[in-house]
Chain A
Amino acid sequence: MVRFISIRVLTYVILVFLATSFAYLLAASLMHPEEVLYPPIATKPVPEGTAQAYLNARNINPDVPVFQRYANWLGGLVRGDLGVTTGTNKELSPVLEVLKQRIPISLRLVVLGTVIGTVLGVAVGMLTAVRRHSLGDRGATLLSFVIVSLPTPVVILVVQQINQAIQNRTGFGLPAINPVNPLLHGWDAFLYESKAIVMPTIVLAIFAAASYSRYMKVTTLDVLGSDYLRTARAKGLTRGRAMNRHGLRMALIPMGQYFAFAVGSAFTGSLFVELMFNWQGVGRYAVSAVGIADINGTAGVVLYTGILTLLSATFADFLQGILDPRIR
């Protein structure tokens, strides 16, 4: 088990490194943050010396070969330095600091959304499989197809509108935007933050649950037709108990691998969620970093999502190792 997990983790670390390297090289060769020094952005000419200093300070000098810049960036990475933001807004703040500020805001959203979404999806998928062709199954199947095929912003707007309608009618409602209220302190601040996270989490969880219930339904249907479940019932377990004791665990085994990618898709969902709920998280930063040609920032975000996926994949492997004795 330890051997199995450590080999897997090693592979994931290599993969994350490769992904981040590719992201850096792509960003470095396609983005042009130096445009800020030339017209039409710059209104008056920048002296050559100043320009060189500006570019070198950010490791984005186009006169330096891209692989040398990559090597510089790698050197920083080894020391735990992700470089500074290189965007056309001329801001010069360490990427690590920016991420440190934004990760706590994003992470709670992504983790909560994924966990609630998968648990919900597994429960719905299993119930719809066991009660196949029932009204509930048909309803859940239709609903999940509708949700999967809707674009994220539409679902966000629907959730926001429902909240607004409730607020109009009853006077109580959740905060429409912003994850924190800087005017509040202590218990009130915590209360506000807990309320603010509800809607964004609902959006992420709905998407995760919709796709997970589909997968789970398929694996559960496989299990329902299996010989060992029939054996379990022949031993004297009722339908429900046989499913809980023998079926659920078997149905969860293939789900482990889907979970590895759940966090990745939750992050993608968080791009829209953070924009439309005005959260200053990593998702929003990723969108703006690409927009303002922030090479180091983009690479930093890819590193963050890579590590996030690494962790969830490792967790999935661990889960699978516990569930399935055959791979231990």
Chain B
Amino acid sequence: MTHRNATVLRLSRRNVFAGSLGLLSCFSRPSYAGTIIDAGNISVSVKAPKRIVTIGSAITEIVFALGEKDNVVAIDLTSVTVTGATGLTNIGYMRALSTEGVLSQNPDLICVSNDSGPPEVLEALRASGVPFALIPHVPTLEGIQTKVTMLGALLDKTAEAKKLNTDIDAAFVKLAAKISTLKQRPKVLFVLSLADNRIVAGGSETAADTIITLAGGENIATSFKGYKQMSAEAILASPPDAVLMMQSHTVENILSQTALVGSPAAKTGRLITMDGSYLLGFGPYTANAATELARKLHPDLAL
């Protein structure tokens, strides 16, 4: 997924503090229920929005989890697999947004993950006068909780957000405790795409790498950063115990690849398929996704 540099990360953390300060000050002014300082360092205020557009699967999941599902009118392409999103208007891919397309939904709040684009469209949406909240995307546990806190403050669901964050924390702590008892970590290969015997794998600094580590696996593709085509020899040199993918392929098709023939994964038929947004979206259910993956990686571990 994305790798944001450290300055932006620090900035967004500071914004969270600023956001909670904004929240404190709003108690003295009850007429402005939801006010936050967003990732663009701009103050955003809304009062009981009824037509929300959410862009980014994690944001859609959080807004739904905070009980605002009925007030969401449109979502982006990455959110269509989110539970409960069926029937909502799809405004297209988050990095190829259309100003008019978003505004045609008559939104009274636009919540956007800050890895969306193009930048000119985000600027035009901000200038449209519709409340526009840019939510920082950082693929870590803290990053998820930052999103929850900000959206909770914005939607006047502070208590729900706090509870959601506690649940997320608890789920991660529970998983980590179980994982720490493991004696052995199975080797995992994340396959982003597969065409014509060429395997594009998830290297270090990817959301896939993070989720594999959280689930107590060991990513074998750490010699490179990002998602890259990995040579068959490199895979043969460190054969995976399991293969993780987002699309459904037949087990035979994947595990009969030259690079994987003879690997423990092929011998035991361990091909794990999970939905992309759920697995890599870094939303409120990431702990669940990591636990589900852990269950598949360590069948003997009671999770």
Is A bound to B?
no
